Amino acid sequence: MRSPSLGLALVGAAAAATQLSAIGSRGDRVNNVAIIGAGAAGSSAAYHLQRYAAQEGVPINITILEKTEHIGGRTVTVNIYDDPALPIEQGASIFVAVNHILYNATKHFDLPFGSLRDDEPGDITAIWNGNDIVWQAVEGSSWWWDVARMWWRYGLAPYRAVQLVKDVVGTFLRLYEEPHFPFRSLTQRAFELGLHKVTAITGEQFLAEKNIKGGFTTDIMQAATRVNYASNLAHIHGLEAMVSFAAEGAMSVAGGNWRIFDKMVRASGAALLRNTTVASIAFAKGDVEPGAPRKYIISARDAGEQTADAQELATAFDNVIIASPWQYSNIGAAEGVLKHHIDEIPYMKLHVTLFASPFKLRAEYFKLQPGSKAPSNVYTTLGPDEEAKQGPDGVGKTGFYSISTLRHVVNPKTHKREFVYKIFSAEAVTPEFLSRILGVKVPDSFVGSTQEDGAPAAAVEPISWYRPHWFHSYPIELPRVTFQDPIIGPGLYYTSGIESFISTMETSALMGMNVARLIADDVAGKKREPDTMPSGQDAKGESPVLQPDEL
């Protein structure tokens, strides 16, 4: 058996279950909670549930089931040259200061902040539309879309956009506070806060309504929605478009953002079963006391033995949190378990390619004068005559969303300086493409293989380390006004509905914190104000920050 942990848990749980019924008869029994998935949502749920339960003085026993060995889900690092001293993000890489959960946790756990990129003075960041560089900025200052440097070209649009982003983010942040927190229905909260007006239309429409138009939207804002959500402005809703632009004070954790979630899991005191794939959720058999809610039985198998039969965990769970997109989790729900159907939503399939090379990007590829300095970071947008398509087709003529030079490293074999690049693309990167952007022949054999040892040293290898990976990265964020609510059955919760609203580590962590609060309230018998509020007003009697007519 590859995962002794699961076997032990099954035995241990059986023993404890007997004790439990004894405790149960005294009326102060432990509430057993299963969390499926140890990404941002599941880890945050565990961490906050432990804290809320302690505050309320209710005994809680948390079990996290994670199909991989790894904590963090889509927040994942790989090691440059396979050297653990050189980790680099392949999944979610940045968060911002207003991401209160991630920011607070980083501080609380005393994790060091890392640098986003090894920029050097004079490094150029450019936006490329397949024909021309439409914008460029020289690094050394703060961020590539420094508004002050844009006014001469784009007039007031950048200032208006920054103000709009602030308003929308400010409204979103009310979800963290009473009376908006916790929430049983995200759809309803979005409506109460007026945010449904922002999600109902495309980013392009939302900006146009606010009189933000022209080159600033097609060049700059679209580059932001493409690098953040692999989407053109015409196919992403207004809220997610605003989030793409809310990159002020971008930060990351040195060694990997997953460390936040790892700390959360540890601090929660939860039992963690790694390499454990949940196969099904069913109701516990046997009679239930009248009025008592039914418990859940979870079946799981060792992730290394996908053909083996799943085994039931001995613990019957009072609450289950499904903290992974349902459509990709391969979990079967027994008849009647899901009181609410979970809609399938289209996800983007995104290729993320990391590689190291001694070569710089080639200026000529971007139609710059031969010999001129090439950009270190290239974001993309559509050409003026290109149709903005949806999903992977939307990548258009450039064929990629972004190329960034992230690190300057020393190749341990050659002892020469190399650059570590990251490419976001709709299709797998090809050797031809790499040859063209680097201006050097990249042999076919480099792509798809992982360059293990033993490769004969050519004069200079164009690519010394190569890590392609693809993800179902985030939903294709089409306009919508309803979102999968977090309660999908009695004691059964789902976190991924928030991804159609905003897909970030922070929002998943927020939904984890929200369901943790709902469970703690429930166990503690804490009643809150009814979840409805007079329309157009919140409980303090104020109007929403974003006036509906203003939207």
**Residue ranges in contact with ligand NAG by CB under 6 A:** 2-3, 5, 9, 12-13, 16, 20, 30, 32, 61, 63, 69, 100-101, 104, 176, 271, 274-275, 304, 315
Does the footprint of ligand FAD cover residue 242 (CB under 6 A)? no
Contact (CB, 8 A) for 454 and 478: no
Does the footprint of ligand FAD cover residue 492 (CB under 6 A)? no
CA dihedral 363, 369, 371, 375 (to 10 degrees): -30
C-alpha span between 89 and 420 (Å, rounded): 12
Per-residue contact track with ligand FAD, 459 to 478, x per CB under 6 A?
------------x-xx----
C-alpha span between 78 and 29 (Å, rounded): 43
Report H helices in 119-182: 151-154, 157-172
Q: Which partner in ligand FAD, ligand NAG, none is near 268 (CB below 5 to 8 A by kind)?
A: none
Does the footprint of ligand FAD cover residue 93 (CB under 6 A)? yes
Contact (CB, 8 A) for 397 and 324: no
Report the run of H or E that residue 226 belongs to, with start and end.
helix 222-229
Q: What is the DSSP track for 492-549?
A: EEE-GGGGGT--SHHHHHHHHHHHHHHHHHHHHT---S-S---TT--TTSPPPSS-GG
CA distances (Å), 466 to each of 78, 117, 349, 394, 471, in order?
11, 18, 20, 26, 17
Contact (CB, 8 A) for 42 and 493: no
Q: Which of residues 20-59 bind ligand FAD (CB under 6 A)?
A: 36-42
CB of 342 to ligand FAD, least distance (A): 13
- What are residue 492's DSSP bridge partners? 320, 489
CB of 515 to ligand FAD, least distance (A): 12
Report the run of H or E that residue 43 belongs to, with start and end.
helix 40-56
Does the footprint of ligand FAD cover residue 75 (CB under 6 A)? yes
Stretch that binds ligand FAD, among 22-30, 80-88, 321-329, 482-490 (CB under 6 A): 321-329
Q: Which partner in ligand FAD, ligand NAG, none is near 207 (CB below 5 to 8 A by kind)?
A: none
Q: Which partner in ligand NAG, ligand FAD, none is near 440 (CB below 5 to 8 A by kind)?
A: none
> Of 101 and 423, which CB lies nearer to ligand NAG in the complex structure?
101
Q: Which of 47, 52, 95, 494 binds ligand FAD (CB under 6 A)?
A: 95
Does the footprint of ligand FAD cover residue 353 (CB under 6 A)? no
Strand order in the sheet with 60-65: 271-273, 60-65, 31-36, 319-322, 492-494, 487-489
Count of helix runs (H) and strand runs (E) in the chain: 15, 21
Q: Report the residue closest to ligand NAG, judged by CB.
A: 16
Radius of gyration of the chain (CA): 25
Q: Which of 124, 323, 429, 476 binds ligand FAD (CB under 6 A)?
A: 323
Q: Which of residues 499-528 bind ligand FAD (CB under 6 A)?
A: 503-506, 508
Per-residue contact track with ligand FAD, 274 to 313, x per CB under 6 A?
---xx-----------------------------------
> Of 51 and 480, which CB lies nearer to ligand NAG in the complex structure?
51
Contact (CB, 8 A) for 157 and 171: no
CB of 304 to ligand NAG, least distance (A): 5
Does the footprint of ligand FAD cover residue 106 (CB under 6 A)? no
Interface residue list for ligand FAD (CB under 6 A): 36-42, 65-68, 73-75, 91-95, 277-278, 323-324, 329-331, 350, 352, 471, 473-474, 495-496, 503-506, 508
